[in-house]
Amino acid sequence: MKQDLIVILDLGSTENTVVARQIRDMGVYSEIHPHDITVAQLNALNNVKGIILNGGENRVVDGVAVDVDPAIYECGYPVIAIDHPTAKCEQKFDKLPDDATMKSFLFDTCKAEANWNMKNFIADQVDLIRKQVGDKKVLLALSGGVDSSVVAALLIKAIGKQLVCVHVNHGLMRKNESENVIEVFKNQLDANLIYVDATDRFLDKLAGVADPEQKRKIIGGEFIRVFEEEARKLEGIDFLGQGTIYPDIIESGTKTAKAVKSHHNVGGLPEDLQFGLVEPLAQLFKDEVRACGVELGLPAEMVYRQPFPGPGLGVRCLGAITRDRLNALREADAILREEFAKAGLDKKVWQYFTVIPDFKAVGVRDNARSMGYMVVIRAVNTIDAMTATIERLDYDFLEKVVDRITTEVPSVNRVCYELTKKPVATIEFE
Q: How many residues bind ligand XMP (CB under 6 A)?
A: 10
Hey, how many other C-beta atoms are within 10 angstroms of the C-beta on 334? 18
Hey, how many other C-beta atoms are within 10 angstroms of the C-beta on 183? 13
Q: Find the binding residues for ligand XMP in span 129-188 (CB under 6 A).
A: none
Out of 310, 319, 357, 363, the only residue in the binding site for ligand XMP (CB under 6 A) is 310
Distance CA 18, CA 24 (A): 10
Phi (first) and psi of residue 393, to 5 degrees:
-70, 145
Q: Could you tell me the smallest distance in angstroms from the CB atom of residue 275 to ligand XMP?
A: 22
| Interaction between residue 247 and ligand XMP (CB under 6 A) | no
Q: Where does residue 310 rank: exposed (0-12), middle (13-18), buried (19+ CB within 10 A)? A: middle
Out of 311, 332, 340, 413, the only residue in the binding site for ligand XMP (CB under 6 A) is 311
Q: Could you tell me the smallest distance in angstroms from the CB atom of residue 314 to ligand XMP?
A: 9
- Please compute, for residue 37, the number of CA atoms within 13 A of its CA located in the half-sphere on the CB side: 24
Out of 307, 364, 403, 420, the only residue in the binding site for ligand XMP (CB under 6 A) is 307
Q: Name the residue nearer to ligand XMP (CB basis): 235 or 287.
A: 287
| Interaction between residue 427 and ligand XMP (CB under 6 A) | yes
Q: Name the residue nearer to ligand XMP (CB basis): 70 or 423.
A: 423
Distance of CA 17 to the CA centre of its chain: 17
Q: Name the residue nearer to ligand XMP (CB basis): 88 or 422.
A: 422
| Interaction between residue 381 and ligand XMP (CB under 6 A) | no
Distance CA 357, CA 325 (A): 9
Q: Find the binding residues for ligand XMP in span 338-357 (CB under 6 A).
A: 351
Distance CA 124, CA 126 (A): 5
Q: Name the residue nearer to ligand XMP (CB basis): 113 or 428.
A: 428
| Interaction between residue 243 and ligand XMP (CB under 6 A) | no
Count of helix runs (H) and strand runs (E) in the chain: 13, 17
| Residues within the interface to ligand XMP (CB under 6 A) | 307, 309-311, 351, 385, 422, 426-428
